[in-house]
């Protein structure tokens, strides 16, 4: 690799909704510039996690360096910094946008702007990026580039007169895109002479080399063998290996301002080299870190329990290993009377949670029980102490509480206007506060609600999709905590309070949730030799109750010749069912009851 002048560097990312063709476009750019030979091309080169390939979405971002000889005859180095498409990772997105001067806004010309695109475009605008609109999939029969261009102008306020018409699939418009990047995206500031500041925009754990850090040099130079300091963590490391991503790792000796690369320095966990941290030289440190560093805070929590208690140590090890690679994952051991030993885990959002669960099951071969997701409540006690509670059973009793606050999010939904009614119903039923509605071009509407996060983390997304027959898209962002009339709804089985069935709900919904809970439990708890009352209560006030009648008869009084094998099988099955049950006092409750109830807790009242 020869040294490249800063003026010939272009750093950009791609902002797009899922399925709008970001990965395919990236593939074409790599092919067109000869970065990846055609024969090495596999679908969606940048998404190299199995899960990503399967879902066709980008979870962990990657980067690629391309050499491009432009029409002006000059050689340019173009770095594509890929961003995760999902809002759960918006912090990572914002860090990778900081590392760029421009962004391609890729919109499906047959569909239009979606909510996720919006959120990321706004992030790009906040970072003063040059945004180049690309209307993709123009080869499709339903493509309406004019309409979509008008929509972009209307919603985002972006000039689309020079929007590029492209089809990544068919290879149309690829050169135009590269030319636009060279001509319109500004080169990085030439700050090669300043003290080193490099911004970490991603990292992953490699079992041989330790953490591999992806960075963009903002100022100065970085070389192999340098002793560097991470300004937020304060830790120092010596760089063992330095290189660029072409897109496979190619070692180099030095990188300077404007360039994008990776290094390895025997760092043990990604938590030690967090996204957003600034790298500087230990000997001549920069005076200030690059602004904007924040530690990712988990927003959504759930309990993870091994189905087989013997797998608990394996689950711990798997989480430890995942954390090497995922600084945003948090977990602590939890014991549940119903499910035994497990972990309470914190995630950036729902997709993050789903990904972690799937990776645990797929990559570590664990069989897991997942409790319904919950959020963190802020509880102020009478004595002024403030507690953060993510487990309903830990909520102090009412006499000690001054107030409970819950996290709220702003949800933006975009949908065809004929679904507005049903989506508004959804918003209202989830305690949403209507904020705004705007008509976009061609009968599409954006709806803005502020909702408690607790109402969103359950099945809001699925509901929105099913109510809109798949047409609506959504995005959410945290807007802070709000005080609400929240109560702890307890469940009593045969008079015993069951911690793992407790829920924090709004007072107005307590009756409906309670009713649904006791009805479901009645269905799932087998009859015993005695009557079992099941109650839902707020404090000492019962809001709903049911009763499981006593078992009257459980006998095999059938003529069966000498063939006892079926009777034996029946008893074995019954015994296996009993083994999986948890005793609450004298009542055996099947695990399925806990699971179904946890699911139902989320649907209650909707």
Partner 1 sequence: MGPQTARGVDRDWWRRAARSAYVHVPFCRRRCFYCDFPIAVVGEFRPVRGGDPSGPPDPLAPKVPLSGENSGAIAQYVTLLGQEIETVAAQGRSSSNASNSLEPLETVFFGGGTPSLLSPEQLGFILGLLDRHWGIAAGAEVAIEMDPGTFDRAKLADFVAAGINRVSLGVQAFEDELLAACGRSHRCADVDRAVAAIAAVDLNNWSLDLIAGLPHQTIERWRWGLERAIALGPPHLSVYDLTVEPGTPFGKWYEAGCAPLPSDRATAEMYRCASEVLRGAGYHHYEISNYARSGFECRHNRVYWHNRPYYGFGMGAASHLGGGRFTRPRNRAAYGDWVAGGCAIAADPTTETDRLLETLMLGLRLAAGLSVATLRDRFGPAAIAAIETVLKPHRDRGLVVALDDRGTALDPTIALGDSDRIALTDPEGFLLSNQVLSDCFEALG
Which residue spans within 7-69 are E strands per DSSP? Answer: 9-16, 63-69
Out of 39, 42, 541, 552, name the contact with partner 1 by CB under 8 A: 552
- Looking at beta carbons only, is 131 or 584 nearer to partner 1? 584
Stretch that binds partner 1, among 199-207, 278-286, 410-418, 555-563 (CB under 8 A): 555-563
- Looking at beta carbons only, is 294 or 551 nearer to partner 1? 551
Any contact of residue 574 with partner 1 (CB under 8 A)? yes
Q: Can you read off the two tokens belonging to residue 531?
A: 């009557």
- Looking at beta carbons only, is 42 or 553 nearer to partner 1? 553
Stretch that binds partner 1, among 36-44, 197-205, 446-454, 557-565 (CB under 8 A): 557-565
Helices (H) and strands (E) counted in the chain, each on its own, are 14, 33
How far apart are CB 519 and partner 1 at their closest, in Å?
A: 19
Which residues, at least 6 apart from 505, have a Cβ–Cβ distance to it below 8 Å?
Answer: 486, 487, 489, 513, 601, 604
Out of 162, 551, 583, 603, name the contact with partner 1 by CB under 8 A: 551
Stretch that binds partner 1, among 248-256, 271-279, 282-290, 556-564 (CB under 8 A): 556-564
Binding mask 454-473 for partner 1 (x = CB under 8 A): --------------------
Any contact of residue 579 with partner 1 (CB under 8 A)? yes
- Laid out side by side, the sheet with 330-336 consists of 330-336, 340-347, 300-306, 368-370
Out of 250, 531, 568, 603, name the contact with partner 1 by CB under 8 A: 568
How far apart are CB 527 and partner 1 at their closest, in Å?
A: 9
Any contact of residue 541 with partner 1 (CB under 8 A)? no
Give the pairing of strands 75-81 and 9-16.
Answer: parallel
How far apart are CB 202 and partner 1 at their closest, in Å?
A: 51
Stretch that binds partner 1, among 23-31, 60-68, 391-399, 574-582 (CB under 8 A): 574-582
Any contact of residue 570 with partner 1 (CB under 8 A)? yes
Any contact of residue 72 with partner 1 (CB under 8 A)? no
Interatomic CA distance for residues 469 and 249, integer angstroms: 43
From 136, 168, 183, select the one nearest 32 (Cα to Cα).
168
- Looking at beta carbons only, is 483 or 572 nearer to partner 1? 572
Q: Are 78 and 33 in contact (CB under 8 A)?
A: yes
Any contact of residue 41 with partner 1 (CB under 8 A)? no
How many CA atoms are closer than 13 Å to the CA of 567, on its beta-carbon side? 11
- Looking at beta carbons only, is 207 or 565 nearer to partner 1? 565
Other beta carbons within 10 angstroms of residue 372's beta carbon come to: 18
How far is C-alpha 552 from the geometric centre of its chain's CA atoms? 50
- Looking at beta carbons only, is 79 or 494 nearer to partner 1? 494
Q: Are 187 and 179 in contact (CB under 8 A)?
A: no
Kindly write down the DSSP assignment for every residue of 421-461, as one continuous string: HHHHHHHHHTT-EEEEEEE-GGGEEEEEEEEEHHHHTTTHH
Stretch that binds partner 1, among 413-421, 463-471, 514-522, 547-555 (CB under 8 A): 547-555
Any contact of residue 569 with partner 1 (CB under 8 A)? no
Alpha carbon dihedral 345, 347, 350, 353, in 10-degree steps, equals -50
How far apart are CB 496 and partner 1 at their closest, in Å?
A: 17
Any contact of residue 572 with partner 1 (CB under 8 A)? yes
Label each residue of 489-506 as H, E or C.
EEEEECCEECHHHCEEEE
Stretch that binds partner 1, among 215-223, 260-268, 510-518, 564-572 (CB under 8 A): 564-572
- Looking at beta carbons only, is 399 or 565 nearer to partner 1? 565
Out of 159, 571, 585, 592, name the contact with partner 1 by CB under 8 A: 571
Any contact of residue 531 with partner 1 (CB under 8 A)? no
How far apart are CB 55 and partner 1 at their closest, in Å?
A: 39
Helix H or strand E encompassing 412: strand 401-416
Sign for the pseudo-dihedral over CA of 174, 175, 177, 181: positive
From 241, 242, 235, select the one nearest 268 (Cα to Cα).
235
Any contact of residue 309 with partner 1 (CB under 8 A)? no
Which residue spans within 140-288 are E strands per DSSP? Answer: 164-165, 197-206, 210-219, 221-223, 227-230, 236-238, 241-245, 249-251, 254-256, 260-264, 278-281
How far apart are CB 588 and partner 1 at their closest, in Å?
A: 10
Token look-up 């008893």 returns 571
- Looking at beta carbons only, is 295 or 308 nearer to partner 1? 308
Interatomic CA distance for residues 285 and 231, integer angstroms: 9
Interatomic CA distance for residues 449 and 428, integer angstroms: 9
Any contact of residue 556 with partner 1 (CB under 8 A)? yes
Any contact of residue 567 with partner 1 (CB under 8 A)? yes
Stretch that binds partner 1, among 120-128, 357-365, 452-460, 558-566 (CB under 8 A): 558-566
Interatomic CA distance for residues 90 and 468, integer angstroms: 25
Any contact of residue 310 with partner 1 (CB under 8 A)? no
Stretch that binds partner 1, among 138-146, 325-333, 385-393, 554-562 (CB under 8 A): 554-562
- Looking at beta carbons only, is 37 or 555 nearer to partner 1? 555
How far apart are CB 574 and partner 1 at their closest, in Å?
A: 4
Rg (C-alpha) for the chain, rounded Å, is 28
Q: Number of residues interacting with partner 1: please give it, by CB under 8 A.
A: 25
Out of 480, 578, 583, 585, name the contact with partner 1 by CB under 8 A: 578
Q: Which residues in this chain contact partner 1 in the complex, by CB under 8 A?
A: 529, 551-559, 561-565, 567-568, 570-572, 574-576, 578-579
């Amino acid at each position: 690799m020869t040294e490249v002048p800063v003026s010939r560097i272009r750093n950009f990312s791609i902002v797009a909704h899922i399925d709008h063709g970001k990965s395919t476009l990236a593939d074409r750019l790599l092919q067109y510039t000869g970065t990846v030979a055609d024969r090495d091309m596999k679908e969606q080169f940048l998404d190299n996690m199995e899960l990503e390939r399967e879902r066709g979405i980008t979870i962990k971002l990657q980067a690629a360096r391309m050499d491009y000889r432009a029409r002006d005859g000059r050689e340019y180095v173009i770095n594509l910094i890929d961003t995760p498409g999902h809002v759960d990772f918006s912090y990572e997105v914002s860090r990778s946008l900081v590392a760029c001067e421009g962004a391609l806004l890729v919109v499906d010309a047959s569909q239009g702007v979606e909510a996720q695109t919006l959120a990321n475009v706004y992030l790009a605008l906040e970072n003063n990026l040059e945004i180049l609109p690309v209307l993709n999939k123009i080869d499709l029969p339903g493509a309406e580039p004019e309409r979509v261009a008008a929509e972009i102008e209307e919603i985002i306020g972006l000039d689309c007169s020079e929007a590029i018409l492209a089809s990544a699939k068919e290879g149309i418009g690829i050169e135009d895109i590269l030319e636009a990047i060279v001509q319109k995206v500004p080169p990085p500031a030439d700050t090669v002479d300043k003290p080193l500041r490099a911004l970490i925009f991603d990292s992953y754990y490699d079992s041989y080399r330790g953490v591999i850090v992806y960075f963009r040099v903002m100022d100065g130079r970085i070389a192999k063998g340098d002793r560097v300091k991470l300004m937020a963590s304060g830790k120092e490391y010596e760089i063992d290996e330095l290189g660029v991503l072409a897109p496979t790792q190619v070692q180099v000796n030095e990188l300077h301002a404007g360039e994008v690369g990776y290094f390895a320095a025997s760092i043990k966990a990604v938590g030690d080299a967090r996204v957003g941290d600034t790298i500087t030289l230990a000997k001549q440190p920069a005076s200030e870190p690059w602004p904007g560093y924040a530690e990712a805070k988990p927003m959504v929590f759930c309990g993870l329990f091994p189905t087989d208690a013997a797998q608990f140590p394996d689950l711990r090890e798997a989480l430890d290993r995942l954390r090497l690679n995922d600084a945003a994952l948090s977990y602590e051991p939890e014991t549940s009377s119903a499910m035994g030993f497990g972990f309470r885990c914190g995630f950036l959002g729902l997709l993050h949670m789903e990904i972690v669960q799937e990776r645990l099951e797929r990559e570590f071969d664990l069989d897991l029980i997942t409790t319904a997701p919950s959020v963190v409540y802020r509880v102020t006690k009478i004595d002024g102490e403030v507690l953060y509670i993510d487990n309903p059973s830990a909520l102090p009793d009412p006499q000690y509480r001054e107030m409970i606050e819950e996290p709220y999010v702003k949800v933006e939904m975009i949908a065809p206007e004929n679904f507005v009614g049903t989506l508004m119903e959804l918003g209202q039923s989830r305690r949403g506060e209507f904020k705004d509605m705007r008509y976009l071009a061609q009968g599409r509407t954006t709806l803005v609600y502020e909702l408690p996060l607790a109402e969103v983390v359950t099945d809001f997304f699925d509901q929105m999709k099913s109510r809109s027959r798949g047409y609506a898209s959504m995005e959410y962002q945290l807007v802070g905590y709000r005080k609400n009339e929240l109560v702890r709804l307890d469940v009593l089985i045969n008079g015993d309070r069951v911690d793992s069935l407790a829920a924090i709900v709004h007072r107005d919904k307590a009756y409906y949730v309670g009713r649904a809970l006791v009805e479901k439990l009645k269905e799932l708890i087998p009859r015993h030799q005695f009557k079992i009352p099941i109650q839902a209560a707020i404090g000492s006030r019962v809001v709903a109750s049911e009763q499981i009648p006593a078992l009257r008869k459980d006998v095999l009084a059938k003529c069966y010749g000498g063939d006892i094998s079926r009777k034996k099988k029946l008893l074995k099955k019954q015994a296996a069912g009993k083994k999986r049950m948890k005793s609450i006092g004298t009542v055996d409750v099947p695990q399925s009851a806990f699971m179904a109830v946890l699911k139902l807790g989320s649907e209650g009242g909707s």
